[in-house]
Amino acid sequence: MQWFRKREIAKKLKPKQIEDALKTLALPPVRDYLVALIDELVRQGIYLSRKEQEGVKFTVKILMEEIGKGDAILKREKKK
């Protein structure tokens, strides 16, 4: 039930709030921590079942895309 509430709150975020969160993902120390997590997911992935490996691939892809979105926002703001 708790996750459902958080999902509902996330659906109501304003664009500025989402943009701020993406920027946070792209800045140290959060970015460094996420990169370390991605690295660990990849290294530990060899010990997982095929189904779990697919889940890890999907998770890594999403994390990298979100960090990339944050990078793009930061670059855009730097140009201004």
Instruction: Name which of 54, 60, 25, 26 is nearest 41 in CA terms.
Output: 60
pLDDT at 10 over 90: no
Q: What is the mean pLDDT of residues 14-18?
A: 94
pLDDT at 38 over 90: yes
Query: What pLDDT, on a 0 to 100 scale, did the predictor assign at position 7?
Result: 76
Cite the DSSP H helix spans in 1-80. 2-11, 15-26, 30-44, 50-79
Query: What pLDDT, on a 0 to 100 scale, did the predictor assign at position 40?
Result: 94
Q: How far lies 47's CA from each of 1, 41, 53, 57, 61, in Å?
A: 32, 10, 9, 14, 19
Query: What pLDDT, on a 0 to 100 scale, did the predictor assign at position 1?
Result: 58
- Per-residue pLDDT tens over the stretch 50-78: 999 999 999 999 999 999 999 999 999 99
